[in-house]
Structure 1
Amino acid sequence: MKASNKMWKQIAQEAQALRDETLAKVGVTIEIPAQLSRNVTDIPDRVLSASSARITSLAPQEIITLASERKISAQQIVQAFLERAIAAQNLTNCLTEILPERAISQAIELDARLLGNSAPLGPLHGLPVSIKSHIGIANRPLSSGYCAPFHSRQRPDTDALVVQILTRAGAIVHARTTEPQSMMQLECTSNLYGVTTNPYSNILMSSGGSSGGEAALIALRGSVLGVGSDVGGSIRVPAAACGIYGLKPTAFRVPTTGWSSTPPGADPIVTVLGPMSVSLEGLEMFMRVVAAAEPWRIEPALIPLPWRAVDIVLSREKPLRLGIIWHDEVVKPHPPIMRALKEFVNKVSNVPHVEVVDFPPYKHDEAWAIASSLYFTDGGEADLAVMAESGEPLLPLTEWIIKDNPGVKLLDRGELEYWLEEREEFRMEYSQHWNETGVFNRASGNWEGTVDAIICPVAPGVATQHNTAKYWTYTAVWNLLDYPALAFPVGKVDKAVDVKENRKRFMSDLDKENWKLCGRTDFPTPRYVLLNTISTDFQSC
């Protein structure tokens, strides 16, 4: 029987059985307590050996240094992270599989290299790295969150280019992580693997999406550096939900050859790959290694631009100017987000040579109209056809983004050209809007004193209840503009402080709907609050 004719439930059972088979190959049993609190982030340290807990608590650079100096073997490091990944899977359902045979084999090679008095393989020597599952791994299945492709598509013969680069730099790929049906959810749920949950609120809240498996795994330190993807917030929203760091680079900076995603040419809003990590240093490490490999020599669409470390000297002649978007004039953020912004402003306002100003948003409602019209230019026909192959049902957020979204329809050539023109016009207008935060110097012909970066919310609220994340614009606007954006943690929800106000007036119907979610979630503790940093510095990101 052809795989495409198998019913989706059977395919899902096979996918989960394959995952369980890979977990069993690690050869250990991780016992999870029967009774769990909402916050399960402390469980791995309690159920792992002291050695494994210590190794997996280290920062990425510490792991590399210890492995390179033969103070801890790569085999010990890999074993520790494999065990912790199993614990994370048992707590949040964040894995599609782990790769113990591959990872241990590579670790043995790295250790043997050092025993032979050779130098470390590369700048990531001995560092375990996790990969979102639609990024190809040799001889492993690709599905993009759908059931039918899990078996019907040929498995790749080689790793995706970005995985090859990381491996050549000494990284060890040890885990693959969950993604949602259609990849177009700010949640992480599929018929293949079920729901990935948030480690800070157990089963009640979402880990975010679409890179929700990466976020949950990294939050539980089953990995300290991973690769996600982002077309509307899919790196930044899960990073926000799980309290880690996530970077959406500009398009054509990180290679995508070898992934399962948008067909070449069908990219009116480009999906990008980017790093997720426990630290800011982890993100920079990833970008530096990828750029140093000069992937544009293999993938010609990439920008041939080396990584440039930007040294922000606070004693420079001109102050670092930060613009704050308090809200997007469509949906007001919930109390913990507003508090986080205020605390951030209070702290950086006291830093010498830093200037903080309000940054007025520019037509973010129009941005969503354009973006949502360009996400599915075929009206969602290709996605619906893939789901029909196995008979799998549309999950709530897939149905919402494809069928309930007024922007999604089959575009003829004229309509597509119209929305592409709208995209370019919006980009020009936003650039002018940004420039006007400064002063135009007629003598030089340049804008001076413009905002260097924007700080704004990642989303209207913190981690959402399942199937409620429907407001994308706080992140999607930067995809439309193709600006690099970084999500970073600033604190946790405090129920005693973050009290919901009794609002009577709303900026829009969407604002009113999102404010109701604030009451529904009631801020279970603790959930992370993250902010976006947005810059137009294409050279560095």
Structure 2
Amino acid sequence: MASDWRELVADKRRRQQESIPKDWLISPPPETALDVTSIPEGCELLSPRELLITNTTDISVLLEKLASAEWTSVEVTTAFYKRAIIAHQLVNCLTEIFVERALGRAAELDAHLKATGKVVGPLHGLPVSLKDQICIKGLETTMGYVSWIGKYADRDAALTEILYEVGAVPFVRTNVPQTLMWPETFNNVFGRTTNPANRSLTSGGSSGGEGALIAMRGSPLGVGSDIGGSIRIPALCNGIYALRPSYRRVPYEGCVNSMLGQDSIPSVLGPLSNSLSGVKAFMKAVIGQKPWLKDPLAIRKHWDEEEYALVEHGGGKKLCLAIMWNDGITVPSPPITRALNMVKQALLTAGHEVIDWQPLKHADLCRTISAIWNAGSQRDFEVTTAPTGEPVVATMNLVDTGVAVASFRPDNAGISAYELWQVQNTRSQLRKEYLDHWQQTAHVTGTGRPVDAIIVPGATWPAPPHGEFKYTNYTMVWNALDYPACIFPVTRVDPELDAQQPRQEFLNEKDKESYEIYDPAKFWNAPVGLQLIGRTMEEEAVIAMTEIVDAALKSGHDAKKANL
């Protein structure tokens, strides 16, 4: 049995390699080269025009040039495809590569624009990368499982349909961890995806291929999924923007997934991009297609311009934002705390109010979400891997064989339906307590409103070395509460500014373990980002408030440069 699954993997990897145009191959740098982000600029594969296209990170600018036919979809798609293939050779971020199909789609869009003078939709001509669970008709979707090699989708997922309708060009699919239930990216089919800023560090997970690809500017806009941090952690690890929307705001129907049928803590789809304009463009375009007409579970809520204008948040003129310095379980490492202080100062300088946020029962919330997942996840993983006998991945540590062989065993597998109901009921009660906790902040904000949003760490550290991402409560808690969260980059690890601080006392053993993972030398060049948290179904306001925070940070950075 073991040889059978390895043969399937060898054949799949061969077919993947053959799908790459030979003249897009480069001479890879030595493995000792850690930061590979500059290689696309210097490898001479991309023309000056292609570099100009792929370095245009503002999606609104790309869309304007595509709509005016200043840049054709064929040339934009080709440019990003070539850069994606370069990225793949450096950090192993892709799964499905379908060049002719994507360029054929781009040519159709160009012909339509030339013939009619009109765009097909708001994302006309834009290449979009998809996590390897969003089905595209006629393509395999392995999701990191050997057992799913050779299974071809007989139809598009609802989101894929919508992307075609709004004029996008799906052009690659990206790597994930086996099961998806990891904050790092490794599987037995495609192997490990590394971090472009420092290949000894993780790219995050489970949308790690998306995070690494977009950081390499190999895609202008990507789609990931998030059940406990799987959009946000890769965005944080790679220094890009991303949004974890509320349950069912973006259609999920037709995607493959782990734990299908578990709908108490649904996984959600959301965008990753090098700009907030990409996050907004995706959400506005997808919601504008009335996804509830394709997915029976999608929420019937139109894009709300009043909400984006922050009508319920004082028009955005003077916000009161809370900062959560730690979650009461682990204390963030120095670069995360420095980023929080940078945001606080930028907001105060911009005229907003900032108060401290007191976390409420975060440990209870995360225990509850874990109990819901674990009720059936072990069985789910065993059933899925059984046909080929591939091992269930048990560690993200680097291993000589490239394969992890032990089983992953959740703590409370096999609880009864009645016991599961009690866990779900506990979670409902905790959500009510958190709602009341937020409402009560109206007494201390000075605006007459409760806190507009919360700025929080996305993890205890920036992207750690492979196998060391051992604490995900900073993202999981918001899945349990179903609060939308937007990721924004702040800075990078600086060994001088971010030296480890001596500590004699720790909150608990997990805090001590997390403290010992951080070493500024090992975390060299790691991006540092944060999350902005809003209330359920408040995606438009969350995007708008993140734009305000991002602008304040950039204004402060520009002022500092001017004074140097």
- For the aligned pair, the TM-score class normalised by the smaller chain equals over 0.9
Which residue of structure 2 aligns with residue 378 of structure 1?
A: 376
- How many angstroms does 1:516 deviate by? 0.8
Which residue of structure 2 aligns with residue 89 of structure 1?
A: 88
Which residue of structure 1 aligns with residue 436 of structure 2?
A: 432
Alpha carbons of structure 1 residues 67 and 375: separation in structure 2 relative to 1, 3 Å? same
- Aligned ranges 1:100-111 → 2 under 5 Å: 100-111=99-110
Query: Structure 2 counterpart of 1:367, which letter?
Result: L
Moved over 6 A (4+): 398-402
Map Cα deviations across residues 101-160 of structure 1 (whole Å, 9 max, x no partner).
Answer: 111101111111122143111111111100001110111112222111222x4x222221
Q: Does 1:255 align with 2:259?
A: no
Rounded to whole Å, the distance in 2 between the matches of 1:317 and 1:287 is: 20
Which residue of structure 1 aligns with residue 206 of structure 2?
A: 210
Q: Does 1:168 align with 2:165?
A: yes
Rounded to whole Å, the distance in 1 between the matches of 2:421 and 2:349 is: 48
Which residue of structure 2 aligns with residue 18 of structure 1?
A: 15
- How many angstroms does 1:78 deviate by? 1.2
Aligned residues: 525
Which residue of structure 2 aligns with residue 136 of structure 1?
A: 135
- How many angstroms does 1:316 deviate by? 5.3
Map Cα deviations across residues 231-267 of structure 1 (whole Å, 9 max, x no partner).
Answer: 0000000000000011000001100111001465422
Which residue of structure 2 aligns with residue 409 of structure 1?
A: 413
Which residue of structure 2 aligns with residue 46 of structure 1?
A: 42
Q: Does 1:232 align with 2:228?
A: yes
Query: Structure 2 counterpart of 1:395, which letter?
Result: V
Q: Does 1:196 align with 2:200?
A: no
Alpha carbons of structure 1 residues 121 and 458: separation in structure 2 relative to 1, 3 Å? same
Which residue of structure 2 aligns with residue 443 of structure 1?
A: none
Which residue of structure 1 aligns with residue 59 of structure 2?
A: 60
Which residue of structure 2 aligns with residue 421 of structure 1?
A: 425
Does the 8 A contact of 1:165 with 1:293 survive in 2? yes
3-state SS, counterpart of residue 376 of structure 2: coil
Alpha carbons of structure 1 residues 316 and 182: separation in structure 2 relative to 1, 3 Å? closer
Does the 8 A contact of 2:2 with 2:390 survive in 1? no
3-state SS, counterpart of residue 138 of structure 2: coil
3-state SS, counterpart of residue 539 of structure 2: coil
Which residue of structure 2 aligns with residue 501 of structure 1?
A: 501
Rounded to whole Å, the distance in 2 between the matches of 1:315 and 1:422 is: 34
- How many angstroms does 1:36 deviate by? 5.8
Q: TM-score, normalised by structure 1?
A: 0.93
Rounded to whole Å, the distance in 1 between the matches of 2:303 and 2:172 is: 27
- How many angstroms does 1:54 deviate by? 1.4
Which residue of structure 1 aligns with residue 511 of structure 2?
A: 511
3-state SS, counterpart of residue 434 of structure 2: helix
3-state SS, counterpart of residue 129 of structure 1: strand
- How many angstroms does 1:214 deviate by? 0.2
- Aligned ranges 1:318-467 → 2 under 5 Å: 319-352=318-351, 354-378=352-376, 380-397=378-395, 403=408, 405-406=410-411, 408-439=412-443, 448-467=448-467
Rounded to whole Å, the distance in 1 between the matches of 2:338 and 2:358 is: 19
Does the 8 A contact of 1:99 with 1:175 survive in 2? yes
Larger CA deviation: 206-215 vs 409-418: 409-418
Rounded to whole Å, the distance in 2 between the matches of 1:379 and 1:302 is: 24
Query: Structure 2 counterpart of 1:343, which letter?
Result: M
Rounded to whole Å, the distance in 1 between the matches of 2:69 and 2:23 is: 25
Query: Structure 1 counterpart of 2:499, which letter?
Result: V
Map Cα deviations across residues 178-233 of structure 1 (whole Å, 9 max, x no partner).
Answer: 0001100000000011110000002x110000000000000001101000000000
- How many angstroms does 1:384 deviate by? 1.7
Query: Structure 1 counterpart of 2:384, which letter?
Result: V
Q: Does 1:268 align with 2:264?
A: yes
Rounded to whole Å, the distance in 2 between the matches of 1:394 and 1:506 is: 34
- How many angstroms does 1:492 deviate by? 0.9
3-state SS, counterpart of residue 19 of structure 1: helix
Alpha carbons of structure 1 residues 380 and 207: separation in structure 2 relative to 1, 3 Å? same
Which residue of structure 2 aligns with residue 127 of structure 1?
A: 126
3-state SS, counterpart of residue 23 of structure 1: coil
- How many angstroms does 1:268 deviate by? 1.8
Map Cα deviations across residues 460-494 of structure 1 (whole Å, 9 max, x no partner).
Answer: 00001111112110000000001101111011111
Which residue of structure 2 aligns with residue 444 of structure 1?
A: none
3-state SS, counterpart of residue 356 of structure 1: strand
Rounded to whole Å, the distance in 2 between the matches of 1:316 and 1:430 is: 25
Q: Does 1:178 align with 2:178?
A: no
- How many angstroms does 1:97 deviate by? 2.0
3-state SS, counterpart of residue 327 of structure 2: coil
Query: Structure 1 counterpart of 2:513, which letter?
Result: E
Rounded to whole Å, the distance in 1 between the matches of 2:33 and 2:72 is: 35
3-state SS, counterpart of residue 172 of structure 2: strand
Does the 8 A contact of 1:187 with 1:212 survive in 2? yes
Q: TM-score, normalised by structure 2?
A: 0.89
3-state SS, counterpart of residue 349 of structure 1: helix
Does the 8 A contact of 2:146 with 2:189 survive in 1? yes
Rounded to whole Å, the distance in 2 between the matches of 1:81 and 1:136 is: 21
Unaligned runs of 5+ in 1: 441-446
Q: Between the two proteins, what is the percent identity of the paired residues? A: 37
- How many angstroms does 1:416 deviate by? 0.7
- How many angstroms does 1:318 deviate by? 8.0
Unaligned runs of 5+ in 2: 397-403, 541-564
Does the 8 A contact of 1:128 with 1:225 survive in 2? yes
Query: Structure 2 counterpart of 1:392, which letter?
Result: E
The CA RMSD over aligned residues, in Å, is 2.2
Query: Structure 2 counterpart of 1:410, which letter?
Result: G
Rounded to whole Å, the distance in 2 between the matches of 1:389 and 1:362 is: 44
Does the 8 A contact of 1:236 with 1:458 survive in 2? yes
Rounded to whole Å, the distance in 2 between the matches of 1:538 and 1:485 is: 11
3-state SS, counterpart of residue 322 of structure 1: strand
Rounded to whole Å, the distance in 2 between the matches of 1:264 and 1:307 is: 28
